[in-house]
Amino acid sequence: MKEIIEGFLKFQRDVFPERAALFKKLATSQSPTALFVTCSDSRFVPEMVTQREPGDIFVIRNAGNIVPSYGGEPGGVSATVEYAVAVLGVTDIVICGHSDCGAMTAIATHKDIKHLPAVAGWLRHADAAAAINDAHEHASPAEALDSMVRENVIAQITNIRTHPSVALGLTNGTLNLHGWIYDIETGSMLALNWESRCFVPLSEFSETCATPAMSPDRLR
């Protein structure tokens, strides 16, 4: 904790004065362009990896970059999605998984997590991905994990589309979805092409998008 406090003191002393104009502008309003949903894992820092400034991206972080389907009693994730889309008017939502994810490892390896009831309950929101992953053959445990990470991003893109604000934004053509996977060791990013369900390098295919194609009669 000492390092964290010292870091804050350094920020206050050295960094904040240099960025005072930005923080003054941000003091009373924000207009982030994207909602970024990612894992709580300490090794992935979305603002660093996307080179965004304070005020640029609205972030949800949780174990496994999960977005529960809409319905029942809405929780914090649902409320934050709704606020980002309906109030802040973000035009893009990124759901970003990552390599070596502990949550996805627990699912892929059928780890006994009965002693972690909150985690076990939370990861049920990835059951569709787990079912698909279990139905496939995997050459190795590492491949099974990578596959689970991919299936989970696809499942969470599916889940977020059940949220009314997201469904409306997609129908109106005002919202785009992106499914990404970050590799911690290489710093590379894969992006989901929704139509093919394939992940491709974002550096080579920067237009790759996970927005489902709308039938022509739904576009206006």
Residues that bind Zn ion (CB under 5 A): 39, 41, 101
Residue 215 DSSP one-character state = P
Q: What residues does 35 pair with on adjacent strands?
A: 58, 93
Cα–Cα distance, 132 to 136 (Å, whole number):
7
| Closest separation in Å from C-beta 141 to Zn ion | 16
**Nearer residue to Zn ion within complex by CB, 102 or 164:** 102
**Nearer residue to Zn ion within complex by CB, 153 or 175:** 153
| Closest separation in Å from C-beta 164 to Zn ion | 27
From first CA to last CA, the distance across the chain in angstroms is 53
**Nearer residue to Zn ion within complex by CB, 93 or 101:** 101
Cα–Cα distance, 109 to 143 (Å, whole number):
11
**Nearer residue to Zn ion within complex by CB, 43 or 218:** 43
**Nearer residue to Zn ion within complex by CB, 41 or 151:** 41
| Closest separation in Å from C-beta 103 to Zn ion | 5
User: What CA–CA distances, in Å, run from 62 to 96, 101, 102, 124, 155?
Assistant: 11, 12, 12, 14, 15
Dihedral over Cα of 202, 146, 120, 118: its sign: negative
DSSP strand pairing (189-193 vs 176-182)? antiparallel
| Closest separation in Å from C-beta 106 to Zn ion | 10
| Closest separation in Å from C-beta 168 to Zn ion | 30
Tokens of 4: 């964290």
Tokens of 99: 């390599």
